[in-house]
Amino acid sequence: MKIAYLILIHNNFAQFQLLFESIYHKDNIYLIHVDKKSENELHNSVKKYLSSYSNAYIMKSRICNWGGFSMVDIQMKGIKKLLQISNDWDFFINLSGQDFPLKSQPYIMEFLDKNRDKNFIDAQDQHTRKELLSRIRLFCFEIGKYFIKTRFKRKYLKGIKPYYGSQWFIFNKDFCKFLTKDNKTQKILKFYKNTFIPDEGFFQTAIMNSDFCSTVINDYKRIVSWQKGSIKPRILKIDDLEYLLNNENFFARKFDINEDIEIINKLKKETAA
């Protein structure tokens, strides 16, 4: 069992190091994307640090905007890059630099080995959340580091049912290959290029409108604790430790080494193989 990881970071090299060390396994493959908007020091530090790992690679940096198609584009390019690097892996997992594991790599690998034909993603019928339909109706686009949301409405794709959910997921290699080659999926991708927050809709819509829908486990194996009355995740701290360890999820977010390093160090110790 081998996992291909894509890690998206934009700051805090020290925290990235702790994350990488906690998910590292010699049999896995690691692909890192550093936001092009980030400081040169971060780019240089990541490059120097990963140079000693033969199974770690760095993607060409692109500008990454919240709410924009760049979030999807980077992940699609990451999947394609991982397939080019090697065909010898079984699952794809995407992470941000502010995620952290709750389980060891052997634990995660053993679980996935028993579920090779499954895909783990949060996928909900978008029609059940009428307020979210504007995400796919309004025409949006990016220009460099700017994301522009217009009032122009478009008709949705004929014969396609929209889904939404978290942008974090675990896909098996068969679906990853399908994502990069299927003609119907490419049409969906083209449409979602001009939608709002497409990374919380494209992947769900692609898999649920394909034959792979029967492989979906509606559980993306993450804990995200939201700020009260906000769309932003709250920072997890040492008081959350017992809660985080007493569950079956693989990862949690959001952590910040500058606000609470103790919880990160505790989790690192608990998840050591």
Instruction: Kindly state the average pLDDT of the residues 105-110.
Output: 97
Write the CB contacts of 253 (distance below 8 Å, at least 6 apart in sequence). Answer: 96, 98, 99, 100, 168, 222, 223, 224, 233, 236
- pTM for this entry: 0.96
pLDDT reported for residue 31 = 98
Phi, psi (rounded to 5 degrees) for 25: -150, 135
273 pLDDT higher than 70: no
**Nearest in space to 9 (alpha carbons), one of 30, 29, 26:** 30
111 three-class SS: helix
pLDDT above 70: percentage of residues in the chain: 100
Reported as a pLDDT band with limits 50, 70 and 90, residue 226 is: confident
Reported as a pLDDT band with limits 50, 70 and 90, residue 228 is: confident
229 pLDDT higher than 90: no
Structural domains in the chain, sorted by start: 3-270 (3.90.550)
